[in-house]
Amino acid sequence: MPVYGITPNLPLTMNPTDGQYMMLKTFKEAIKQNFKNLLLTSPGERMMDINFGVGIYRFLFEQREEGKSALRAKIQKQANIYMPYIKLIDVKYPPDIEELYPEEVLQVRIIYEITPLGTSDLIDLNIAQ
């Protein structure tokens, strides 16, 4: 008998335990997946809602400090519109990023709180060209 979940895990993967596809079974996992999709989607990419998305790839070649404040503002604005139950806590760049990664790599950690659940989580992204 299939175990029901909230939403399919993306990318879709076959899983006979959950039914046809692997499912996310907690609200925290589903919110994290939705928030990551909001971050990675470029404005204009989503049909029927051209304003949806942060478009984090645009910030790949921004100067670190200016890009950080612009990225934080964009994430906050998008989260307020599309995911008002998320409170952005911080957007961090690792301090030693220049030593580990070349200029063409954006490594960012986004820390957020899911206010209805009273819990926080983080998303680590490594964006390369």
Find the DSSP H helices in the chain.
Answer: 27-40, 64-82, 97-100
**Cα-Cα end-to-end distance for the chain:** 43
Residue 29 has pLDDT above 80, yes or no: yes
Rounded (10°) CA dihedral 84, 119, 10, 2? -120
3-state helix, strand, coil in the chain (%, to 5): 30, 25, 45
pTM to 2 decimals?
Answer: 0.85
Residue 44 has pLDDT above 60, yes or no: yes
Q: What would the mean pLDDT of 4-26 be, rounded to a whole number?
A: 86
